[in-house]
Structure 1
Amino acid sequence: MDATVENPDGMTVPSKTLHFLGNLLTFRARSAQTGGSFSLAECQTAPGAGSPPHTQRDEEAFLVTEGQFEFMLDGKTHLCGPGDFVHVAPNTPHAFRNPGDRPARMLIINLPGGFHEGFFDAVGDVVDPATTSFPPMSPPDIAMIAAAASRYGIELLPPTA
């Protein structure tokens, strides 16, 4: 399901929410709106959920707005709360996880736009943009996820101990 939002120029654009591995991602600015410069997503993460370790060609930044996230960045773990900012340079191994017992939220910026949008469009399940609950998770199709990741410049890494 897509909702629409109006940008400052009065142009109506789709706002899509996707569920993937316990994350609800709502794209607030897509590559097509920014001339390919960046994309901006709001991410709500279920307790214990997050992203697997990976690297990517694009640059990424996270701003925690609610709850806490553990970020693994180049082998080091950082616990971050509201207002904390994490920058990930291209090709840097990273992952994140919500260690809390409630959903956590953050904003995610990818530069340039397009890579992550394409990946999440390929692997995510479209949900109602107004949803605040996480759909039941089924076992992930690792082969499909890895193939989509490869198409969008993302390399999945083995889990860390």
Structure 2
Amino acid sequence: MTDASAPPALLPADDPARQLTVARPETDPSLPHVAIMGDTYTILVTGRETAGRYTLIDMLVPPGGGPAPHRHDFEEMFSVLEGEIELTFRGQTLTARAGETVNIPANAPHAFTNRTDRTARMLCVCAPAGQEEFFLAVGTLVATRTTPAPTMSEAEREAFKRKAAELAPKYRTELLPPA
């Protein structure tokens, strides 16, 4: 029960040290574009810009792309802008299409794959922030939002998987065995 006579809670004062963030992925050369195992992720808004509250990532997922099963201790939300992805959540599979949004609760095992013949584009919000730092640590920078990820040899793929597995715990992520 609340006390009706108590004064309303006050919001903290504005922090003038924090600036407005405007992300222009097609024209801003300062935005990092990161290739991750065939996908290209553009980090639009970082945790530094949101005081750690969230990060926003533009994801291009080509046919066959998407991460292996994993889980992490932060919320992850996908809004599908173009195409569709097949999402596996706690062992159940569903399709998320353009115009749809899905939220993955913290700690839930999940993966997604583009099973179509067309590139999918999604916006991904992770809260709190930090996932962008993992992508930067394990990925390869590419020139633009639409630059395809470089083709990797089998040895390069295995090296990437080892590096990701080694760094994942630092970024509150657990890589899971394939389903």
With the shorter chain as reference, the TM-score category is: 0.7 to 0.9
**Which has the larger Rg?**
2
* Counterparts of 1:28 and 1:153, CA distance in 2: 21
Asked if structure 1 preserves the Cα contact closer than 8 Å seen for 2:55 and 2:128, the reply is yes
- The more displaced of 135-144 and 74-83 is 135-144
1:110-155 C-alpha deviation (Å, 9 max, x unpaired) = 00012x1121011100000254433212332222110111111110
In the superposition, the TM-score normalised over structure 1's length comes to 0.88
Identity of aligned residues (%): 36
Are 1:133 and 2:148 an aligned pair? yes
* Counterparts of 2:145 and 2:110, CA distance in 1: 29
The aligned residue for residue 101 of structure 1 is 117
* Counterparts of 2:42 and 2:70, CA distance in 1: 21
The aligned residue for residue 26 of structure 1 is 42
Q: Please list every run of 5 or more consecutive structure 2 residues that lacks an aligned counterpart in the other structure.
A: 1-19, 23-27
Offset of residue 84 of structure 1 = 1.1
Offset of residue 70 of structure 1 = 0.3
* Counterparts of 2:104 and 2:145, CA distance in 1: 29
Look up the equivalent residue of 1:148 and give its one-letter code: L
1:16-54 C-alpha deviation (Å, 9 max, x unpaired) = 000011110001100001111100000001101100100
Asked if structure 1 preserves the Cα contact closer than 8 Å seen for 2:77 and 2:124, the reply is yes
Stretches (4+) displaced over 6 A:
none
Count how many residue pairs are aligned between Structure 1 and Structure 2: 151
The aligned residue for residue 21 of structure 2 is 7
Asked if structure 2 preserves the Cα contact closer than 8 Å seen for 1:7 and 1:13, the reply is no
Asked if structure 2 preserves the Cα contact closer than 8 Å seen for 1:55 and 1:94, the reply is yes
Secondary structure at the counterpart of residue 50 of structure 1:
coil
